[in-house]
Amino acid sequence: MAALLRTYLLPLLALCAVPALTSLPGTCYREITGPRPSHVLTKPPHEHLDPSSLPDNFDWRSVNGTLFVSEATNQFLPSPCGSCWAHASTGALTDRFIIARKARVSQTKLSPQVLLDCASDAGSCYGGNDVLAYKFIHEHGITDVTCSPYQGVDNYYWGEIPCDQMMCRACDLASTCKFVNGTKYYVSEYGSVQGEDEMMAEIYARGPIACSIYAHSPAFLDYKSGIIQDPTAYNYTTHVVAITGWGVDQDTGMKFWVGRNSFGTAWGEEGWFQLHRGVNCLDIEEHPCAWAVPKL
């Protein structure tokens, strides 16, 4: 798996050039050149939640025995694509719809392909930005994978059809396919948090977030299990993941984040990982993470 990631991921991370976004050599997470956009209507949790009041261990994979998260995905199948930003943002938002509905209503996973098809300002198969993905969803909505399955390609050059009419497709028994009106999902608010305390408050109060990390580290690429540790001080981030919780190792006392990657279930702990928390491991805490509030 590590060899596969090096073969496909690193070349993809090295090819980045989208207006309004910038990247350092070898990165496929694209940072915004100016202020990060936001649409904030209510006071963010970190402005009123005392960090000391939060539990030592919290994970949306099991809250009082209930699973509130979606499954891991694979950005490399059926076609290798630097779309981690789309997978992380739609994955975290899917989780938040599950949370908002108290896991009582079935929630189909939101489609990262819609972002590749339509949100060219947010990114492409050569990288993108998580908060710009949420800006797009706030303005245009997004459909789910049942009518816009992941293809791992950029398809937004489709004649003169408006984007909001390309988000959902249907095919019949005669193999005739066409665009149709499907259920669209929106967000009422979106924005950013940064640093351990803000990240924890946001996750605890409203759900998973999308965060960028430095993924070229062997500790990440070759990860199998346990807590990822890397003391190197990197200067930029290259990949986006969903952070769904945190904990403290009972044996060592080491704090960690709980995250979901988009390299498939053959990577890590069935697509999940733990990352050393509170020490800016892989630059996660010195770079902004994106959040969005589902509109029900």
- Catalytic pick among 16, 28, 84, 211: 84
Active site residue 118: no
* Amino acid identity at 54: L
Is there a catalytic annotation at residue 39?
no
- Give, in order, the Cα–Cα distances in Å from 192 to each of 129, 231, 234, 261: 12, 25, 21, 20
> Residues 16, 87, 118, 261: which is the catalytic one?
261
Q: Any catalytic annotation for residue 48?
A: no
Pick the catalytic residue: 239, 276, 287, 289?
A: 239
Q: How many whole angstroms separate alpha carbon 126 and alpha carbon 129?
A: 11
Q: In angstroms, rounded to a whole number, what is the distance separating the alpha carbons of residues 271 and 123?
A: 23
The residues assigned a catalytic role are 84, 239, 261
